[in-house]
């Protein structure tokens, strides 16, 4: 049904226009308490066997929405009501900014992929903090992903991230330092350990200083060389970070300028996850993103060592109830494997896909 709506209707409209319409509809849903609760009851993961605990936070299911959809923390409750186990909002920058000129979002339908060069369009940390401080009508785990304001020079990046962290860490269930988006000039240079160390140290001080000590993760690019992936893993362990999100979009493609997501990213994203697990074992919580399309993919990532899995492009092509469907399939799979909890599957790389 959704496939028909997508091919006959949605794909005929500008991708970003459809995106804004969806965010508005979900933001409206978030303001309708009864409907929101009904949908949450019907579609959110409620099976105790799907619960995951990571860095002290309880997630109702392992599959969450990756950063980039709810850039302004406008509709997380609506997203959760459709079946996602968590929502990562952002990327949010200390200062609001318009992002790159349109068009900046392109569907590659045959490849089940998307290219974007949005450029962190968002209303800024203060506006997001106000939204996040409102009480929530349905339970939703919210991660907050922060990035560098475009006009701020690289030499002042640490202060800029710290400014965003100060406003947002108290409202976040976890905080993510994004140094891996390809659409802010120079941002990915911050993944080099000599620049990353002072940045993560400063943001961690802020995250550690909140009343509940906000867990801190770093999000990396799939285009890092393997040795650089290892170096970030070592640094994250050394600094006592809670985890790593791998991966962001890739710039290794021949299409429009921007980052590629979806199916073509699947193999590299899994490879980076395996490398991180090999390097850090269970000393870090690993969150896998990139090309996740179905329950097989989520299961594979969990077996490879991911405690949590995120998707975005898979949702665009899979339809509104994509996450709910995957969680239901995972429930059955956990039982089929004779497990009482999906947490037992984390890192069981010896198991094969089934």
Ligand X SMILES: Cc1cc2nc3c(=O)[nH]c(=O)nc-3n(C[C@H](O)[C@H](O)[C@H](O)COP(=O)(O)O)c2cc1C
- Residue positions forming the annotated binding site for FMN: 67-71, 91, 145, 178, 219, 247, 262, 291, 312-313
Q: Does 261 bind ligand X (CB under 6 A)?
A: yes
Q: Does 121 bind ligand X (CB under 6 A)?
A: no
Look up tokens 């919210």; give the residue.
142
Q: Does 318 bind ligand X (CB under 6 A)?
A: no
Q: Which of 44, 82, 105, 244 binds ligand X (CB under 6 A)?
A: 105
C-alpha 308/C-alpha 296 separation (Å) is 14
CB of 120 to ligand X, least distance (A): 6
Q: Does 220 bind ligand X (CB under 6 A)?
A: no
CB of 178 to ligand X, least distance (A): 4
Is the bond preceding 340 in cis, omega lying within 30 degrees of 0?
no
Q: Does 312 bind ligand X (CB under 6 A)?
A: yes
CA 171 from centroid of its chain's CA atoms:
17
Catalytic residue list contains 340: no
C-alpha 121/C-alpha 72 separation (Å) is 9
Q: Which of 114, 168, 187, 206 binds ligand X (CB under 6 A)?
A: 114
Query: Is-contact 224 268, C-beta < 8 A?
Result: no
CA 307 from centroid of its chain's CA atoms:
13
Give the interface size with ligand X as a residue count (CB under 6 A).
28
Residues annotated in a binding site for substrate: 71, 116-120, 178, 183, 248-249
Look up tokens 């569907």; give the residue.
107
Sequential DSSP letters for 246-295: E---B--SSSSSSEEEEGGGHHHHHHHHHHHHHHHTTSSEEEEESS--SH
83/311 with CB nearer ligand X:
311
CB of 68 to ligand X, least distance (A): 2
Helix (H, G, I), strand (E, B) or coil at 219: strand
184-205 as b/e, with b when 16 or more CB fall inside 10 Å? beebbebbeeeebeebbebbbe
Integer-rounded Cα Rg, in Å, for the chain is 19
Q: Which of residues 180-199 bind ligand X (CB under 6 A)?
A: 181
Residue whose Cβ sits closest to ligand X: 68
- Contact letters for ligand X, residues 276-305 (x by CB under 6 A): -------------xxxx-------------
Q: Does 145 bind ligand X (CB under 6 A)?
A: yes
Q: Which of 149, 249, 288, 307 binds ligand X (CB under 6 A)?
A: 249
CA 351 from centroid of its chain's CA atoms:
26
| Catalytic one of 181, 261, 324, 331 | 181
Q: Does 83 bind ligand X (CB under 6 A)?
A: no
Beta bridge partners of 107: 114
C-alpha 39/C-alpha 225 separation (Å) is 43
Q: Which of 18, 163, 220, 265 binds ligand X (CB under 6 A)?
A: 265
Q: Which residues are catalytic?
A: 181
What residues line the site for ligand X (CB under 6 A)? 66-68, 71, 90-91, 105, 114, 116, 118, 120, 145, 178, 181, 219, 248-249, 261-262, 265, 289-292, 311-314
């Amino acid at each position: 049904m959704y496939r028909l709506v997508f091919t006959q209707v949605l794909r005929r409209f500008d991708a970003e226009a459809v995106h804004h319409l969806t965010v508005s509809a979900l933001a409206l849903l978030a303001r309708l308490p009864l409907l929101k609760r009904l949908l949450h009851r019907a579609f959110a993961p409620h099976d105790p066997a799907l619960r995951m605990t990571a860095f002290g936070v309880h997630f109702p299911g392992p599959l969450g929405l990756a950063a980039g959809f709810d850039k302004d923390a406008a509709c997380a409750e609506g997203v959760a009501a459709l079946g996602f186990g968590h929502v990562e909002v952002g990327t949010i920058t200390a200062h609001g900014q318009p992002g790159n000129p349109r068009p900046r979002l392109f569907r590659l339908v045959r490849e089940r992929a998307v290219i974007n060069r949005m450029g962190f369009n968002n209303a800024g940390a203060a506006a997001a903090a106000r939204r996040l401080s409102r009480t929530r009508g349905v339970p939703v785990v919210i991660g907050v992903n922060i990035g560098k304001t475009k006009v701020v020079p690289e030499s002042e990046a640490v202060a800029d991230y710290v400014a965003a962290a100060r406003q947002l860490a108290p409202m976040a269930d976890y905080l993510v330092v994004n140094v891996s988006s390809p659409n802010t000039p120079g941002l990915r240079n911050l993944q080099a350990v000599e620049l990353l160390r002072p940045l993560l140290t400063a943001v961690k001080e802020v995250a550690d200083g909140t009343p509940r000590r906000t867990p801190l993760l770093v999000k990396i690019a799939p285009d890092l060389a393997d040795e650089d992936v290892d170096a970030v893993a070592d640094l994250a362990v050394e600094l006592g970070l809670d985890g790593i999100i791998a991966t962001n979009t890739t710039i290794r493609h021949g299409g429009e300028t921007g980052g590629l997501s979806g199916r073509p990213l699947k193999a590299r994203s899994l490879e980076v996850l395996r490398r991180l697990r090999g390097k850090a074992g269970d000393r870090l919580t690993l969150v896998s993103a990139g090309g996740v399309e179905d329950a097989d993919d989520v299961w594979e990532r969990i077996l490879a060592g991911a405690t949590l899995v995120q998707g975005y492009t898979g949702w665009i092509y899979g339809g509104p109830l994509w996450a709910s469907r995957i969680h239901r399939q995972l429930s059955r799979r956990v039982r089929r494997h004779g497990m009482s909890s999906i947490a037992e599957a984390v890192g069981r790389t010896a198991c094969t896909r089934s």
